[in-house]
A and B are shown apart, each in its own frame.
Chain A
Amino acid sequence: MTAETHVELNRSKQPFPVVTTSILGVLMAIGLVVAIIRFINGIGAISNLSDGRAWGLWISFDLYCGVALAAGGFTLAATVYILNLKKYYPIVRSAILTAFLGYVMVIVALMVDLGQPWRIWHIIIYWNPHSPLFEVGWCVLLYTTVLALEFSPNVFERFNMQTPLRLIRTIQIPLIIAGIVLSTLHQSSLGSTLLLMPDKIHALWFTPILPILFLLSAISVGLAMVILETSLASKGLGHQVDLDILAGLGKALPYLLGLYLVVKLGDLLVAGELDLMFSSGLYSLLFLVEIVGGVILPLVLFALPAVRLSRTALLWSSLLVVLGLVLNRLNVSLIALAPRPGTMYVPHVLEFAISIAVVSAGILAYILANRYLPIAEHEHPAGHRPVVEVG
């Protein structure tokens, strides 16, 4: 089969990245040691978290940013399988892999952050439907399962397991739809969690429509993340993806970013809070950097045909969207969220060690999956005749 030979060729072409994996391994080992200390002496031993600020880097970066950056999985799945835009078929598996790894990383980070992670199964038997976090917990649980199933054909194909492969393909579309529904809920529910802190979050960020803003920004960053990750993989792993595909994704971004911008600024306008953009000192600065650098600038860049014709320009423009989203999530859940009076929070270096270890594990898994599983090149599933033939 041609797909097989392509994979074999790639494997032989690229030497095993010994240096990269070694560095990642060391970073993971450091995180593991820190985690062991945490499980012996408590969260206070490795973090600056306190009653004044009980959620910090792990929740803001690993959870809020991590879940949003994994949004490429459902946006690409919707593009290819629901909107039926088959042009994007060659990158859907890579997007689903990123999403799956992203969610596993979120869960690993939560295992460190939760006080009693061995009780995580409690969310299945003790329900509180009023809690946004209850929605978050169930979405993580269910969507990770869906992503594992969406990802599973890679493994089944690799080991030529035809029966489970056929089974997955029969439930493929319901599975994809379930993934989209769960992602819609999950992305928005992370915004909902902040709705219980109306008096603590700065008015530039707090709004009752935070769930909608979280969903809209996640869709944008999902596509940007796919462009970024595909571009980097092209350089690092030697999987060249057609420029046409990346440019097509880039073409959608001005509309998505524009929609977010209109809703965000419209909400401030309706609330009569537009003046806060310039009158809140450091908060105004952070807000403007986030909106101008992470939304308006990439909106303009992606709208330019010249940008969409250049791999480098696409890479940098998508990086802007990603960094803008990271700043947004850090702003709303960390910087603009007031701690208890008389307390302050700056992440401890060991908190960074945990987050870095989790990201390292994700990158290592991505490299290995691309190397040993048919992620980048794969046959088209039954019933999906390719529209664009590989010439």
Chain B
Amino acid sequence: MAKGMLIDLTRCIGCRGCQAACKQWNDLPAEPTSNWGSYENPPRRSANTWTTVTFNEVSEGDRLDWVFAKRQCMHCEDPACAAACIVGALRKTPEGPVVYDDHKCIGCRYCTLACPFGVPTFEWDTPVPYIRKCTMCVDRQAEGMEPACAKACPNEALLFGEREELLQEAHARLEAHPEKYVDHIYGEKEVGGTSNLYIASVPFDKLGFPTLGPEAIPRYANVAMAAVPPTIVVVSAAMAGIYWITKRREQMMSQKVSVPVEQWPKPDQDKED
């Protein structure tokens, strides 16, 4: 069964305990930051900051909400990063997490462009760089523990468990409190579904979540890649065929030009030509 996380933004109090826990567990150094007018700090995720809480001022009708949203890898069911990776260093595990293999990566950064959520980050300032992103604490899961962020959350905004069960729980919460939630489980259908699911009190586009359709990102690339073997066969055959025709025509032409009709060689003499 595949694991995932249900992130209920109505329960998030913006304490950023998850951010600190992630850094602690993964041994990630602090980043030099400055006050840029928001509690959101550092302003962007990076190779040293795999999860951040965003602080969003959302006006809905006559209401002004301050909504906090923990962002990290969504752990897609059909991840664009894994489809993109030239050496297969990124892959979706049956257990849920999308994991990365340091030993394969050549640093091409195609994953960072393919990801629709802007997740994979690169080590820009080192001579031997790697890609970094949230692992859903796959190492903690192997020891039977929940991810560090979920463990740290003081208000149960992060619920770790079986994705199917979390999805039922999300539906149950939306049904029980339609006045409290928008009717949208972000990640249930987006890009073919993601391991991590969100529910919130305001529309997700107002929280900076990309608006995405239900089809998996690799759909077009899959078609193009499936066309490769037939293309090899068709183009090779076509070129060989055209070559044969043009060569044959040349032979016929040169015979016609150089030999008068009455002197054309008999069929059995062809080989001597």
Contact = CB atoms under 8 A, between A and B. Distances in A.
Interface of A: 39-45, 49-52, 54-55, 78, 81-84, 113-117, 119-120, 122-123, 126-137, 173, 176-177, 180-181, 184-185, 188-189, 191-193, 195-200, 208, 211, 337, 340-343
B106 A173 contact: no
Given A51-B120, A52-B118, 19 more contacts: A51-B44, A55-B109, A82-B243, A84-B249, A115-B129, A119-B106, A123-B86, A126-B89, A127-B87, A130-B83, A130-B222, A133-B86, A133-B108, A134-B86, A173-B243, A176-B239, A196-B220, A196-B221, A199-B212
Majority secondary structure of chain A interface residues (helix, strand, loop or mixed): helix
19 contacts: A42-B125, A44-B124, A51-B46, A55-B113, A78-B239, A82-B239, A114-B106, A114-B107, A115-B109, A115-B129, A115-B130, A116-B128, A119-B106, A132-B225, A133-B86, A180-B239, A188-B224, A192-B225, A343-B44
A54 B113 contact: yes
Contacts of B236: 177, 181
B175 interface: no
B1 interface: no
Interface string B206-246: 00101010000110111111011001100110011011001
B217 to A, nearest CB: 6
B127 A41 contact: yes
Interface residues of B, number: 62
B157 interface: no
Given A117-B106, A132-B221, A133-B110, A196 B246 contact: no
A88 B257 CA distance: 22
Contacts of B246: 82-84
B250 interface: yes
A208 B127 contact: no
A176 B247 CA distance: 15
A94 B16 CA distance: 62
Contact of A131 (B83, B109, B123): B83
A192 B106 contact: no
Contacts of B110: 55, 131, 133, 193, 196
Interface of B: 43-47, 80, 82-89, 104-110, 112-114, 116, 118, 120-130, 208, 210, 212, 217-218, 220-225, 227-228, 231-232, 235-236, 239-240, 242-243, 246-247, 249-250
Contact of A129 (B225, B231, B240, B242): B225
Contacts of A188: 224, 231
Given A51-B44, A131-B84, A208 B109 contact: no
B134 to A, nearest CB: 14
Contacts of A133: 84-86, 108, 110
Contact of A81 (B123, B128, B228, B243): B243
B223 A42 contact: no
A135 B225 contact: yes
Nearest to B118: A340
Contacts of B104: 122, 126
A27 to B, nearest CB: 24
A337 to B, nearest CB: 8
Contacts of A341: 118, 208
A126 B243 contact: no
Contacts of A177: 236, 239-240, 243
Contacts of A176: 239
B208 A196 contact: no
Contacts of B222: 130
Contacts of B224: 132, 188-189, 191-192, 195, 211
A167 B247 CA distance: 21
B243 A115 contact: no
B28 to A, nearest CB: 15
Nearest to B212: A199
Nearest to B120: A51
Contact of B232 (A54, A78, A185, A343): A185
Contact of B231 (A54, A116, A185, A200): A185
B107 A115 contact: yes
B250 A84 contact: yes
Contacts of A113: 108
Most chain A Cβ neighbours within 10 Å, of B112, B242, B250: B112
Nearest to B88: A128
Contacts of B225: 129-132, 135, 192
Given A39-B127, A54-B113, A133-B86, A115 B220 contact: no
